């Protein structure tokens, strides 16, 4: 049986082109960014909560829920100590209740394993129950300045077209 030739690996984007793309994306963000409450903080817990709430939910819907949540459970420790019924009650109306259960379970793990402080890098954040690659990258980059990738479905679709 004849062997098929191996296709060459795609060429990497040259560094100057990648830098230009990054600069264009940042410039665009600065022009169109919205003032959102979770963008006014570097608190990794607040960012984590926002990222989970924003999954499958519109920003306009999340804002009042996030503000009430942060008032009710202002820290990882407060969330970890709360009864699950209180957590689910605070989540009522957002749907996808597994997100609330995962936040609660994750907060308990962070409280016991890391003393209430979220890990500072994306790899360690992935060890927190309910935190996947995108959320880990978002928290690590926004809260701690780590250069972590943030590839959601929208980004993947754009990159697939390139």
What residues are annotated to the active site? 51
Are the C-beta atoms of 140 and 132 separated by less than 8 Å?
Answer: no
- CA–CA separation, 114 and 104 (whole Å): 15
Tokens of 52: 């989970």
- CA–CA separation, 73 and 60 (whole Å): 20
Neighbours of 116 (CB within 10 A): 16
- CA–CA separation, 43 and 62 (whole Å): 18
Neighbours of 90 (CB within 10 A): 18
């Amino acid at each position: 049986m004849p062997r098929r030739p191996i296709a060459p690996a795609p060429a990497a984007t040259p560094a100057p082109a990648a830098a230009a793309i990054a600069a264009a994306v940042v410039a665009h963000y600065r022009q169109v960014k919205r003032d959102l409450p979770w963008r006014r903080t570097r608190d990794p817990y607040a960012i984590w909560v926002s990222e989970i709430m924003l999954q499958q939910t519109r920003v306009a819907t999340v804002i009042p829920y996030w503000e009430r949540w942060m008032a009710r459970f202002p820290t990882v420790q407060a969330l970890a100590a709360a009864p699950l019924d209180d957590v689910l009650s605070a989540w009522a109306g957002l749907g996808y209740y597994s997100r609330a259960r995962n936040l609660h379970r994750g907060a308990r793990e962070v409280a016991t394993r890391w003393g209430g402080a979220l890990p500072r890098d994306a790899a360690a954040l992935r060890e927190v129950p309910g935190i996947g690659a995108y959320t880990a990258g978002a928290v690590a980059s926004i809260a701690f300045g780590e250069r972590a990738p943030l590839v959601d479905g929208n980004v993947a679709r754009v990159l697939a077209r390139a």
